Each structure stands twice: as structure tokens, then as C-alpha cells.
Structure 1
Amino acid sequence: MSELSNHRQAVELLQQLGLKEYEAKCFVALSRMPKGTAKEISETSDVPRTRVYDAIRVLETKGLAEVQHSNPQQFRAVPIDEAAETLRHEYESRTETLVRTLEDIDPAPSDEGQETAHEVWALSGVSAITNRTRQLIDGAGREIVFVVGHEAVITEELIQQLREAQETGLTVVVGAASERLRETIQTSLPDVEVFVSGLEWLNSDPTDPADATTISRLLLIDRNTILVSSVSTHETDGGSTETERAVFGRGFDNGIVVIARRLMATGLNPNADPK
């Protein structure tokens, strides 16, 4: 990645973490020098000199910059590790406050007795799907059936979560799209039942240029909650990118849950009960 791209990405990430554009640019500029005056920061960051003082004042308030009251004033960024910890704490604090605030808001009126057994919802993005996967596994009461079609799904966090579920007495069964992946999972989860899935349609068809979608994960919780996600590969000017999307359904009578349960049982273990 070029220096210009790194600079731009750093500014954008700082903005995503709550800094305004000039604040982010000034912090990135300061991180590149031992210390600097407003004039030097302005020249390095392309922030108007008159706006540098305001930006630095905010950075100082947030614990991201230090000021030396000399003539002229000198400024410097706190060490990167310290800045990262400060931003992480601020982000987590805001997230916790958001959760408490949302929980304290009274729910909007809804139709009583509304039927929810046949609803199917869509999710998009690796983070959202990974978080939903984690929540579903944490909420399992009896059984977890997880078919893995994409190697990237298997993370240390997921392995640990499945291991803990198995140790608490839950039935955990894992299907893998290939023998190599099965061996990888079995090594990490020696006490969990792991099969090579018979669901050949999990993978994209290499002979079909239009088929660039792979089923990445099928998760069945207590035989009444299902999450199915797929990864699509798209070619761009910068190379190929992957997008993960998922559908989520709950309810024993939900058609998609019934179909997925029977398909998974058949493909995961020939002797499994598909009912």
C-alpha cells in the first residue's frame, strides 16, 4: 500500500472512530513528527493554520495530543499504542452508553399476537453475520449443527465457542466441505463429531463462470433456528473482493428451517435423523 493510501486510510479510520476531518488529519500529521508548531502541522496536514488550533484543542481534550506552552507553542501526538487504547476505551464507552440508552427506550406499540414463526430476515457483512452466529450459539439449549463451507469461517473465537458449548453438555456436530477442512476442525475440536458434508452444492461450480457464490455457513440451533450465509466474489479494478450475505429464520414450522434441517441432516451424516 502506498504512503498516500496509508495516509488516507488512517484519516478515514480516525473519522470512523469519532474524530472530525481536521482533527484526524492533524493527528496523522503529528504522528509523523516528534513535535510540531501549528505552521508545521498545517503544512503537513493541509489543514488551514487557523483551524489547527481548534483541532489540536480537541485532540488534547481527548487525550490524543500534548501541548508545550512555549513560543511558538509546540504540539505532539501521544504514542500510537496509547492513542489506540484511548480510542478503544472511548469507542467501548460510547457503545455501552448506546446499549443502555436503547434499552431504556420504551418499545413502540405493536400488534399483539403477531405471528413470527414464518419470518425470514436478511443480514449482510462479515461482522454482522459473525456476531449473529455467536449470539445464536450462545443461546443454544440442546443442539448445535454447523456446516462449514468456507474456510475463513473457522476462527479461533468460533472454535473456542464450540468447544465451550460441547463442554457444557450441548450436542455439537460440525460438517466440513472437504476432508482437509474436516481434519483442521477435528484437530481443534477433538471431542466434537466432525463429518465431511455431502452437500456438494455448498461450493461454487468452477466450470460455470457465472457461479461465483459459495455457501459459507449453515447453522442450525436446537432444530428450530437457522442461519445460512453465502460468499460472492466480485472482480474490481483493485482485484477481487468477497461479500457475505445471510438469511436467518426461526420457528419449528418455518418452511426454510424445515428444509434446511432435513438437507443438513442428510448431507452431514448419512445416518442422521432428518425429521
Structure 2
Amino acid sequence: MTANPSDVTASLEWFGLSSYEAQIIVALQKLGLGTAKEIAEVTAVPQSQVYGAAGSLEKRGLIEVERSNPKRYRSIEVEQVLDHLETEYYQHRADVAEGLKMIREQFKDERSESQEHVWTVTGSAAVLSRITTLLNDATDSLIIGLESASPIADDIVNQLHGLDNGTIDITVITTDESISDSVREIATVYQPPLDPELEASSAMSGHVLVVDDTAILVSACTSDSEIAIWSAETEFANVLIDMSKARLETFFPGLT
């Protein structure tokens, strides 16, 4: 098995190294010990640029410099390189998190909260994250339509089991027997009659989630992906919630 130096260089750049710095790190794995001239010969880094890039790497603790004439360079051990990069990554991550939170707090009074916010989320992970947030925000009631064709159905069921079922009235609507059985102890379950045409077209499914009569999420999904729109405490949400509940009433009078 052989490694592609270009791929390794690109990965190092992801950690914030410049192209020249990344190439020098890779070159020193080949050379073990090398001068600026030798490094330039095995990379696309001009010899005149090796000195500056190597100096930057030395400051970051990623290479060592022999004070000879000419100077010679060598990389620290691979595990040490990884430790340095990991430490820098988590430090930058912490700095970004703190900075974003401070900016958000600083400008919270200037943000408009009166606009009609309707959001789109794409991808199963993003949809599950939004559903999880909405479920955790529930204080009174939630109505959710679930089908096993969704790639995140099992995750949603697990989220439902984690809620405080003593204070939240949970209603689950599903045509799936396995989902019915898995939530029957924590929720009121309704199984609507399934349209034969829809049953024949099982490649597409989706979810509807109504939380506290103030927030709604509607999604459509295939076996490997999902997209959803959601809104909370807006006129759009109110209209969509009323439409959804009216539709449910046609199947289950008195449900809502």
C-alpha cells in the first residue's frame, strides 16, 4: 500500500498549514533530514520560499532546525505532529465557539425577531438534529407522524423515549406496526387507513411534527436522504398546523 503525497499535503492544509508548509512536512518524511535545496528538489516549493515556510513550521513546533551551514531541517515524529495539530484544532474550535457565542450575544438586541421565519434543512443528520431540538423544546404536547421508511425513524423513536412523558402529551400517527409497538407505552398511537396507491409507492416517506401547537416540521425522505421545512411561532406555522390538524380530524375525529 502506498500513500499519495498530494492527498497527505491536502489533508495537512485542512489543519491550517499553507501549501508550502504542508509540502515541506511531507518532504521531510521522505528525506529524514534535508537542506532547503534538497527540499526544493522534491517539492514544488521554490528554494527561496523554503526558509520562510520552514521558519513558520519551527515556530509551531512541527520541525527541528540544525544550525549548520547550510541549515538542515527534520520533522518531529509523526505522532508528535498529530498531537500538535490536534491540540491546535481543538484550540481553534474552542476559540470559534466562544467567539460566535459572544457575537451572537452582543448583537441579539439588533436582530429582528418579528420576521416570518421559515427554514429548510437538508440531509438526514440535519433533519434529525432539528427534530431533536423541537422535541426537547416541547412542554405540553406533540403530534408526530412516523414511518419506518425514513432513515432516521429509529432515532426519533429513541428521542421520544427520552422525553419527560409525565408532562408531555405525545401522539404518534403511523401505519407501521413495529413503530406502533415501540411507542405504545409512552404515546397515544393512531393508525390511519393507508391509501393503496401510496402503499404501492413506498420509495418516498416523510414526517410531520407539531410541537405545543406553535411549531411544525414537515419532511420528505427517501431511503437514504431527507429534506424538511420548519417554522415556529409564526403565522406560517399557525396556518400549516391548522391545515395538518384539520386533515387529521378527517381520519380521527376528536384527535386534536
Shorter-chain TM-score category? 0.5 to 0.7
Partner residue, 1:249 = 231
Determine helix, strand or coil for the equivalent of 2:213. coil
Residues 215 and 228 of structure 1 are in contact (CA less than 8 Å); yes or no, is this contact kept in structure 2?
Answer: no
Please tell me the residue identity of whatever aligns with 1:257.
I
Alignment of 1:1-275 (within 5 A): 8=7, 11=10, 15=14, 18-23=16-21, 29=26, 37=34, 46-48=44-46, 50-52=48-50, 54-55=52-53, 58=56, 66-70=62-66, 71-76=71-76, 77=78, 78=80, 80=82, 83-84=85-86, 86-105=88-107, 107-108=109-110, 114=114, 116=116, 120-149=118-147, 150-154=149-153, 161-166=159-164, 169-175=167-173, 178-180=176-178, 182=179, 186=182, 191-193=185-187, 195=189, 198=192, 214-231=204-221, 244-251=226-233, 254-263=238-247, 265=248, 273-275=254-256
Residues 226 and 260 of structure 1 are in contact (CA less than 8 Å); yes or no, is this contact kept in structure 2?
Answer: no
Aligned-CA RMSD value: 4.7
Report the more deviating stretch, 145-154 or 6-15. 6-15
Cα distance change on mapping 1:88 and 1:196 into 2, 3 Å: farther
Please tell me the residue identity of whatever aligns with 2:186.
V
How much has 1:94 moved relative to structure 2? 0.8
Distance (whole Å) between structure 2 residues aligned to residue 79 and residue 161 of structure 1: 40
Residues 121 and 248 of structure 1 are in contact (CA less than 8 Å); yes or no, is this contact kept in structure 2?
Answer: yes
Please tell me the residue identity of whatever aligns with 1:165.
L
Distance (whole Å) between structure 2 residues aligned to residue 74 and residue 247 of structure 1: 53
Identity %: 18
Distance (whole Å) between structure 2 residues aligned to residue 198 and residue 128 of structure 1: 28
Distance (whole Å) between structure 2 residues aligned to residue 204 and residue 43 of structure 1: 65
Distance (whole Å) between structure 2 residues aligned to residue 46 and residue 179 of structure 1: 62
How much has 1:257 moved relative to structure 2? 1.7
Distance (whole Å) between structure 2 residues aligned to residue 147 and residue 170 of structure 1: 16
Q: Extract unaligned runs of 5+ from structure 2.
A: none
Tell me the alpha carbon deviations over residues 164-195 of structure 1, each in whole angstroms, 9 at most, x when there is no partner.
Answer: 32356323444556345x27x82xx6843385
Distance (whole Å) between structure 2 residues aligned to residue 41 and residue 75 of structure 1: 12
Please tell me the residue identity of whatever aligns with 2:142.
I
Residues 249 and 257 of structure 1 are in contact (CA less than 8 Å); yes or no, is this contact kept in structure 2?
Answer: no
Determine helix, strand or coil for the equivalent of 1:141. coil
Please tell me the residue identity of whatever aligns with 1:87.
Y
Distance (whole Å) between structure 2 residues aligned to residue 260 and residue 247 of structure 1: 14
Cα distance change on mapping 1:3 and 1:221 into 2, 3 Å: farther
Cα distance change on mapping 1:159 and 1:273 into 2, 3 Å: same
Residues 179 and 196 of structure 1 are in contact (CA less than 8 Å); yes or no, is this contact kept in structure 2?
Answer: no
How much has 1:206 moved relative to structure 2? 6.6
Cα distance change on mapping 1:66 and 1:152 into 2, 3 Å: same
Distance (whole Å) between structure 1 residues aligned to residue 7 and residue 253 of structure 2: 53
What is the total number of aligned residue pairs between the two structures? 244
Cα distance change on mapping 1:258 and 1:120 into 2, 3 Å: farther
TM-score by length of 2: 0.65
How much has 1:61 moved relative to structure 2? 5.4
Q: Extract unaligned runs of 5+ from structure 1.
A: 234-241
Residues 30 and 36 of structure 1 are in contact (CA less than 8 Å); yes or no, is this contact kept in structure 2?
Answer: no
Determine helix, strand or coil for the equivalent of 1:258. helix
Tell me the alpha carbon deviations over residues 208-267 of structure 1, each in whole angstroms, 9 at most, x when there is no partner.
Answer: xxx97x34432221122111122368xxxxxxxx6532211234862212223444x569
Residues 28 and 39 of structure 2 are in contact (CA less than 8 Å); yes or no, is this contact kept in structure 1?
Answer: no
Please tell me the residue identity of whatever aligns with 2:105.
E
Name the larger-Rg structure. Answer: 2
